[in-house]
Amino acid sequence: MRRPGLSRREFLGIAGMAAGALALGGCGPFSGGGRDLPGSPQARRTGETREHLLRAAPLEFEAGGQRLLTWGYEGDVPGPEIRLKEGDTLRVRLRNELPEETTIHWHGLPVPNAMDGVPGVTQRPISPGEEFVYEFVVPVAGTYIYHSHVGLQLDRGLYGALIVEPAKENLDYDREYVLVLDDWLDGAGGTPEDALRRLRDSGGMMGGGMGGATLEYPLYLVNGRPPEDPATFEVRRGERVRLRLVNPSAETVFRFAAGGHRLTVTHADGQPVEPVTVDALRIGMGERYDVVFEADNPGVHQLTAAPEGKEGLARALLRYRESAASSPPPADLLPKELRGKLLTYADLKDARERSFPEDTLLGGPDRVYRLTLSGGHGSYAWAIDGQLYPDADLLEVREGEWVRFELQNHSMMVHPMHLHGHFFQLRNDTGRGPFKDTALVEPHMGHLAFDFVADNPGEWFFHCHNAYHLETGMARVVSYGGS
Ligand code: C2O
Ligand code: CU
C-alpha cells in the first residue's frame, strides 16, 4: 500500500500557506497562492489485479552457438514481459531458486517504498528457497524494466520488460515491438564477479584507457538473441510501427538506428515528449525510449544497437511482409542512419506542458544538491561527491519540497544516474525538459541538472546504472525526514 502522501490539493494548500507566511514575514510571496510543481503521478487503483510468478533460477541458455549457464526469470532471458494497464494492481510472487539472496526492483515506477526492492534499504533480501510478494498499484503508463537489485545479478540476465499501457491510448500506431538490449558476459566472459575482479586488478585502466575501465562483452543481444540468429519483426507497408527500446544492460550505452527509416521519439523513460524525428539515439543503461516510424520502405532492414566505445553489435531484423523473398543484410552491417541526426537531451520537451517555475530571487528549489561524479583513478571505485556507498551521507529531503540535483562528471566515463521512486525533470533550454528517471552524465566535466518534487516518502536509492559502478560505490540514499 502507498504510504500517505500529499495529494495535489493538499500540497498546493501547504505551499499556499508557506507563501502566506513569507508574505507576513515581509519577504514577499511566491506569485499566486503557491507554486504549481509537477510531481510524480499518484497511484489510483482503477483496474484489475494481475498476478505473476517469477522464479529466479539458474538456467541453460543458447546464444551464438554456445550453451551458456546463467541466471534468469522463468527459465528465459529476458524474463517474461509483464504488461498491464495503469491503475491495475501488480502482484508478483518472487521465488528465489538462486544460490544467493535476491530482490526485484521495478525500475522507473514510483512504487511505495517497501515495494522498491533495494536490499538493505527498502527490504531484507530474499534468501535462497524463500518467496516474497511484491504488490502495488501501477500509477502511470510507460515502458519500464524489472530487474534484480542484488550485487551484479543484473549482468547475468535477471531482467525483463515491464510495459504499462495507458488507460486511454492517444498514440496512433498499428503494431508494436519491444526490443530489450543487453551486453552478454557469461560464457567466454566468465561471471560478473570474475569481470569485476579483472576490472579491479586492472587498477581502472582496462579497456577504455585512462580512468575509463570498461568491459568488452563477447556478445550483444536483442531479446536474448545474438546477431547471427536475430529476432525478426514483421511489418506491412503502410503501417505505423511503435518500438519500445529498453536497455537493462550492465555496462553498455547503445546507439540505435533502423536501416532505411527515420525514428520519431514519442516517450523518454516511458513519459511522453513532444515528438522529435531523428536517425539514431543513444540509450544508456536503465534508459528507455519509445519511437514510431512509418513502414514505407519495403525490404529487410537492420535494427542495429551499436555498443558505444566497444566492438561488435546487437541487431534484429525488420522484415516487410511484402518482401518475404529478400535476404537479410549481413550481420555486421552498420546502417548509415547510425551516423545521421542523433537525439540529444536538448531536443526533448515534456509533452504535458508541465514545468517547474523559473528560478527568481524569491523563489526556486527548496533544496539543491551539487554532486560530483568521480573515480576510476588508480583503483576501480566510483564515487558520488568523493564518497563510496555504503560509507556515504544520506541526501536528506523533506516531503513536499522542490529538490534540485546538479551533477558534474569529473571522470572519463559516462554515468547513467538513476533515481528511484520519482520522476525528475531534466533542465534544458526548452524550459520544459523531459520527465525521466535515468539520465546520462557525459564524461570530461559533463553537467546535468534536474528537479523533482519530494512526494513519495521513504528511503530511495540514487545511483549510477552501470552495474560495476554501483557495485563499487556509486550510490546514495535519498532520505525523507531531513530538516
Ligand atoms: Cu534499475 Cu536502482 O535500479
Ligand atoms: Cu557510472
What is the distance in A from the centroid of ligand 1 to the CA of 243? 22
pLDDT at 187: 62
CA dist 380 and 384 (Å) reads: 14
What is the distance in A from the centroid of ligand 2 to the CA of 425? 20
Ranges 29-43, 53-67, 300-314, 402-416: which has the least confidence: 29-43
**Are residues 151 and 297 part of one domain?**
no
* Ligand 2 ion: nearby residues, β-carbon < 5 Å: 415, 464, 466, 469
What is the distance in A from the centroid of ligand 2 to the CA of 109? 21
pLDDT at 215: 84
Any ligand 1 atom below 6 A from CB of 107: yes
pLDDT at 458 over 60: yes
**Where does the pLDDT of residue 43 fall: very low under 50, low under 70, confident under 90, or very high at 90 and above?**
confident
CA dist 73 and 480 (Å) reads: 33
What is the distance in A from the centroid of ligand 1 to the CA of 106? 8
pLDDT at 68: 79
**Are residues 381 and 318 part of one domain?**
no
What's the average model confidence in pLDDT over 259-287? 98
**Are residues 160 and 179 part of one domain?**
no
CATH of the domain at 151: 2.60.40.420
What contacts 336, CB < 8 A, 6 or more positions away?
259
Residue type, 423: F
Tens-place pLDDT, residues 328-380: 898 888 899 999 999 999 999 999 989 999 888 888 999 999 999 998 767 88
Any ligand 1 atom below 6 A from CB of 286: yes
pLDDT at 139 over 60: yes
pLDDT at 482: 63
**Are residues 181 and 100 part of one domain?**
no
What is the distance in A from the centroid of ligand 1 to the CA of 478? 14
Q: DSSP letter at 114?
A: G
Containing H/E element for 160? strand 159-165
What is the count of structural domains for the chain?
A: 3
**Are residues 189 and 322 part of one domain?**
yes
Q: What would you measure as the largest C-alpha separation in the chain, in angstroms?
A: 77
Pairing, β 240-246 against β 175-184? parallel
Any ligand 1 atom below 6 A from CB of 248: no
Range list of H helices, 1-54: 8-24
**Are residues 324 and 243 part of one domain?**
yes
Query: Where is the domain boundary, 107, 138, 165?
Result: 165
Query: Where is the domain boundary, 165, 194, 222?
Result: 165
**Are residues 153 and 203 part of one domain?**
no
What is the distance in A from the centroid of ligand 1 to the CA of 420? 7
361 lies in some domain: no
**Are residues 393 and 328 part of one domain?**
no
Tens-place pLDDT, residues 165-224: 999 888 999 999 999 999 988 665 578 999 899 888 876 555 444 445 788 888 899 999
- Which listed ligand is nearest to 381 at the C-alpha? 2
170 lies in some domain: no
Nearest 5 degrees, angle CA 251-CA 100-CA 118? 60
Residue 205 belongs to domain spanning: 175-343
- Which listed ligand is nearest to 443 at the C-alpha? 2
What's the average model confidence in pLDDT over 313-317? 96
Spell out where 204-338 has E strands.
219-222, 232-235, 240-246, 254-258, 263-268, 271-278, 280-283, 288-294, 300-307, 314-320
What's the average model confidence in pLDDT over 152-175? 94
pLDDT at 141: 97
**Are residues 220 and 156 part of one domain?**
no
230 lies in some domain: yes
pLDDT at 40: 84
What is the distance in A from the centroid of ligand 1 to the CA of 1? 21
- Ligand 1 atom closest to residue 248's alpha carbon, by position in its atom list: 1
CA dist 277 and 275 (Å) reads: 7
72 lies in some domain: yes
380 against 13, higher pLDDT: 380
Percent of the chain with pLDDT over 70: 89
358 lies in some domain: no
CA dist 73 and 93 (Å) reads: 12
Any ligand 1 atom below 6 A from CB of 463: yes
Any ligand 1 atom below 6 A from CB of 95: no
352 lies in some domain: no
pLDDT at 27: 29
Q: Please tell me the residue having the least CA distance from ligand 1 atom 1.
A: 107
**Are residues 416 and 334 part of one domain?**
no
Percent of the chain with pLDDT over 90: 74
Q: Please tell me the residue having the least CA distance from ligand 1 atom 3.
A: 107
325 lies in some domain: yes
pLDDT at 19 over 70: no
- Mean per-residue pLDDT over the chain, rounded: 89
**Are residues 39 and 145 part of one domain?**
yes
362 lies in some domain: no
**Are residues 124 and 19 part of one domain?**
yes
Tens-place pLDDT, residues 104-137: 999 999 999 999 999 999 999 999 999 999 999 9
Number of other residues whose CB lies within 10 A of the CB of residue 134: 22
In the block, cell 503557491 appears at 34
Query: Where is the domain boundary, 343, 378, 395?
Result: 343
